[in-house]
Amino acid sequence: MKLALSIALRFLSSSKAQTLLIVLGIAIGVSVQVFIGSLIQGLQKDLVNTTIGNSSQITLTSSTSDRRIEGWQEIIDSIKGLELPTSLSALSASADVPVLLSSGDRTVSVLLRGLQFPEANSIYNVDSRITEGVKPASTGEILIGKELKEDLGLKDGDQITVTTPDRSVKTLRIVGVFDLKIANINRSWFITNLETSQTIGGLGDSITAIEMQVEEVFRADENTEVIAQSLKNRPVSLTDWKSQNAELLTGLNGQSVSSLMIQVFVIIAVSLGIASVLAITVVQKSRQIGILKAMGLKDSTSSMVFLFQGLILGVIGAVVGIAFGFLLILMFSTFAVGPDGEPVVGISVNYGFIMLSAFIAIGASTLAAMVPARRSSKLSPVEVIRNG
């Protein structure tokens, strides 16, 4: 082993330009893998956060005709006690009541969303989305969306009247303005506390939904199955974001497949380059190999020489490639920015993925060296020396 390693190092050092080209080829391949993989992962994370980051990822609703969930505190305690595939990062009750808002000569349909504070902040981040005023604290206080406020000319402190589903008229007071960064929601939601919504909707102590978020969003459906099984004797139904966002999942899967294809072709190109260059090395070094074999070098040892070359080239190329990859990430994050100075795509640096890319490159380099290694083992010292 030591002899094979020593010869491999001598061969590499005797052809510095050739060695440098191979290392650069591997490094470029690894850097492309690291950069493209991190970019795709960051893009996927941004898409998921934009679409479902501030919304319920698993929603439990009633399957009864009145759509009310009775004994919801017991249900929440039951869910908390379950062993789930991925932990819940948020678990909150909500009571939704459709109302008609009358303002001047306009009547607008709005959803009065009664949220359980502070638990709901883990989903909707209401505290940080209030642009004016304060969060509702007493019954009858609401937050109104920024766009709806502008459309109707309302302001903080205004009294508004709404008509409930049972045609009763209620008065609410605006105590603040929210901006969830989605214009349709800002125009169609009132946000209030759970008690106000239950009172306005005549729900008593019941609610209309239990909302959840999970630590690993792509495993939300696994949690849904476990929770549904545990509550199979209750009149409730569950949905998760994956079943409601088929097109988004298709897009994310397409991105993952395209990223994988790029990485596979890069590895194939790098492997072919290494194999061809080392095969030429066998021809170039055939006389030296023949002499060494004539002096007693075993066929297996001569093969190990080229396997060691592939391994050494792979390790050096992977290390340099990771450095190049981080440089590409830094350059992209510095120069590819939007008007607000933030990167147009937030790149996700996954160290596990980076190490996997490095090991794949090292493995591919070593495997690529097997062809020239086998060829070197078949060299006849007599024929090589005789033919020069």
On the question of pLDDT at 297 being above 70, the answer is no
Taking the C-alpha atoms of residue 320 and residue 129, their distance in angstroms, rounded to an integer, is 44
> Taking the model in full, what pTM does it have?
0.70
Quote the pLDDT of residue 35: 87
The pLDDT-based confidence of 88 (bands split at 50, 70, 90) is very high
pLDDT score, position 42: 82
3-class secondary structure per residue, the chain: CHHHHHHHHHHHHHCHHHHHHHHHHHHHHHHHHHHHHHHHHHHHHHHHHHHHCCCCCEEEEECCCCCCECCHHHHHHHHHCCCCCCCEEEEEEEEEEEEEEEECCEEEEEEEEEECCCCCHHHHCHHHHEEEECCCCCCCEEEEEHHHHHHHCCCCCCEEEEECCCCCEEEEEEEEEECCCCHHHHHHEEEEEHHHHHHHCCCCCCECEEEEEECCHHHHHHHHHHHHHHCCCCCEEEEEHHHHCHHHHHHHHHHHHHHHHHHHHHHHHHHHHHHHHHHHHHHHCHHHHHHHHHCCCCHHHHHHHHHHHHHHHHHHHHHHHHHHHHHHHHHHHHHCECCCCCECCCCCCCHHHHHHHHHHHHHHHHHHCHHHHHHHHCCCHHHHHHHC
- Going by pLDDT thresholds of 50, 70 and 90, the confidence category of residue 107 is confident
pLDDT band at 80 (very low <50, low <70, confident <90, very high): very high
Q: Which one-letter amino acid corresponds to residue 201?
A: G
Residue 94 confidence (pLDDT) above 90: yes
Structure tokens of 320?
């340099």
Residue 116 has pLDDT above 80, yes or no: yes
Q: Kindly indicate the confidence band of residue 290, based on its pLDDT and cuts at 50, 70 and 90.
A: low
- Mean pLDDT, the chain, rounded, equals 83
130-134, 312-316, 381-385 — most confident range: 130-134
The answer to whether the CB of 161 falls within 8 A of the CB of 128 is no
* Average pLDDT over every residue of 268-294: 66
In order of 141, 159, 248, 311, the CA distances from 200 in angstroms are: 11, 15, 36, 72
Q: How many CB atoms lie within 10 A of CB 228?
A: 17
Query: What Å distances lie between residue 160 and 125, 173, 202, 209, 325, CA to CA?
Result: 25, 6, 19, 26, 57
pLDDT of residue 46: 78
d(CA 9, CA 4): 9
**Do 26 and 314 meet the contact criterion of CB atoms below 8 Å apart?**
yes
Mean pLDDT over 344-358 rounds to: 80
Confidence at 332, pLDDT banded by 50, 70, 90: confident
Q: What is the dihedral of CA 112, 113, 118, 121, to 10 degrees?
A: -120
**How far apart are alpha carbons 38 and 262 in whole angstroms?**
13
% residues pLDDT > 90 (the chain): 30
- pLDDT for residue 385: 56
pLDDT confidence of residue 157: 84
Residue ranges covered by each domain of the chain: 2-50+248-387, 64-234
Cβ pair 84, 227 in contact under 8 A: yes
Instruction: Give me 150's structure tokens.
Output: 């502008």
Tens digit of each residue's pLDDT (9 = 90 or more) over 148-163: 998 888 888 888 889 9
Position 289 scores a pLDDT of 66
**For residue 115, what are the contacts with CB-CB under 8 A and spacing of at least 6?**
92, 94, 124, 126, 191, 192, 193, 194
Task: Quote the CA–CA distance of 309 and 7 in Å, as a whole number.
Answer: 9
pLDDT beyond 90 at 206: yes
**Residues 47, 252 contacting (CB under 8 angstroms):** yes
pLDDT score of 351? 85
Name, of 7-21, 102-116, 297-311, 367-381, the range with top average pLDDT.
Answer: 102-116
Q: What is the mean pLDDT of residues 85-95?
A: 93
- First-to-final CA distance of the chain: 28
What is the rounded distance in angstroms from the CA atom of residue 46 to the CA atom of residue 53? 9
pLDDT band at 323 (very low <50, low <70, confident <90, very high): very high
What is residue 263's predicted lDDT score, i.e. its pLDDT? 74
> Can you read off the two tokens belonging to residue 5?
């390693």
* Average pLDDT for 322-347: 80
Q: What is the mean pLDDT of residues 38-66?
A: 83
If one compares 85 and 44, the residue with the highest pLDDT of the two is: 85
Instruction: Kindly tell me if the per-residue pLDDT of 365 is higher than 60.
Output: yes
Average pLDDT over residues 254-262: 76
Whether residue 372 is predicted with pLDDT greater than 70 in this model: the reply is: no
309/306 Cα distance (integer angstroms): 5
**pLDDT given at position 380:** 61
Q: What is the model's pLDDT at position 333? A: 82
